[in-house]
Structure 1
Amino acid sequence: MRKLFIFALAGFLAQLVDGSLGMGFGASSSSILLTFGVAPAIVSATVHFSEIATTAASGTSHWKFENVHYPTMLKLAIPGAISAFLGAAVLTSINANAIKPLIALFLLSMGVYILYQFIFKHMNDEHYYSGHFGRIRMVSQGAIAGFLDAIGGG
């Protein structure tokens, strides 16, 4: 019963952050669950399972409004999915106590980045990039993001 309460509290608090900032559910809920001593592999699985519905709705919305650039999506999604699988494999095969400090550092940096985006970039709505990303840069970003997302939990 205690674990159920912890999971519900983590989801509630993370959704408060996500609802007010528009991002940060994974980083917030992962941080809360790790603070309460939940194993990193369980944290990652729980957070990703809870994001299935919202991610599917978001993807469907982008697809419906023709807001998907398929070449870019494939350059990010394919290496991201492969490295996410590798990240999950690493997470389940490594000692939880050994990786917790790395996950905490990663989540702290994500929290600082989210706050930075909200405080400084939110003031000016012209924060989009219209330049060109090379194939190597996109593939490497997708791979790094997939791996870190699997390890960090969201």
Structure 2
Amino acid sequence: MLDFLLFAVVGALAQLVDGALGMAYGVVSSSVLLATGVSPAQASASIHAAELFTTAASGGAHLANRNIDWPLFWRLVPFGVVGGVAGTYVLTGIDGSVVRPYVAAYLGIIGLYLIVRSFRKIPQKPVPLHIVPPLAATGGFLDAIGGGGWGPVVTSGLLGAGGQPRYVIGSVNAAEFVVTVAVSLTFLIALLTGRWQADMTGNALAVGGLILGGVVAAPLAAYAVRIIPEKPLLRLVGILICALALYQISALLI
């Protein structure tokens, strides 16, 4: 019972950050699961199982708060699904840790850029549509590989291109639900066809806690995006990305 409550707290905190800043649920949850000895593939599969519920709750909350840019949402979904399916296929065959140094470097650069940009005038312009496909495909791929990566890659990339924080975060969170469904189905197919062999029953308690905490926190996080001014929100995102990059780099060096 204590473990369940611990994972519920982790899920709630992770979803508060993810729903408000557009990233971190997968990264935070993955870090906790990996620290308990769960393999990368099992951690990713467990997190995506939990995200079937948390991303649905988060997307619905952002919809209720009118935080979604629908043209951007429909542009993100197909490429994110393709990237997520490809990443799942790769992860069930190799060790996903080989890409972590590159992700950490990317996050550090983008995080610093966003912090600097938050002290300047934030442009009020739509996201250039030509950058969405590669960002979504890369985000989906890395999300499946590492159990988290959709938000850090896609949200940070779109904000760096000049997107308005409220609508970028809302759209990315809503699109994540569809990507999560695709990744979870691919894990299931890999398990049923024998490509991937794993016993997921041992993670049921952790998944249940992550689901409960995430679903409870999702509405509050979506409301926070609506009321927090753009510059502080962008600054918080940049600081969070830098912290994630430093954490990943330190973990690689230890």
- Contact 1:27–1:111 (Cα < 8 Å) also in 2: no
| Aligned residue in 1 for 2:127 | 133
**How high is the TM-score relative to the length of structure 1?**
0.69
CA RMSD of aligned residues (A): 3.7
Mapped to 1, the partners of 2:87 and 2:80 lie a distance apart of: 10
1:1-154 aligned within 5 A: 5=3, 9=6, 12-13=9-10, 15-19=12-16, 22=20, 23-94=23-94, 96=95, 99-103=96-100, 106=103, 130-154=124-148
Residue type at the aligned position of 1:16: L
- Contact 2:97–2:146 (Cα < 8 Å) also in 1: no
Gaps of 5+ in 1: none
Mapped to 2, the partners of 1:48 and 1:127 lie a distance apart of: 37
The alpha-carbon deviation at position 34 of structure 1 amounts to 1.8
Mapped to 2, the partners of 1:14 and 1:127 lie a distance apart of: 34
* Offset from partner CA, 1:68-114 (integer Å, 9 cap, x none): 322211111110011101101100011x3xx33534764x568868x
Mapped to 1, the partners of 2:134 and 2:101 lie a distance apart of: 23
**Number of residue pairs aligned between Structure 1 and Structure 2:** 144
- Contact 1:48–1:153 (Cα < 8 Å) also in 2: yes
Percent of pairs with identical residues: 32
- Contact 1:41–1:91 (Cα < 8 Å) also in 2: yes
The alpha-carbon deviation at position 17 of structure 1 amounts to 4.8
Mapped to 2, the partners of 1:43 and 1:65 lie a distance apart of: 31
| Aligned residue in 1 for 2:153 | none
* Offset from partner CA, 1:30-60 (integer Å, 9 cap, x none): 1122233311111111111112222112212
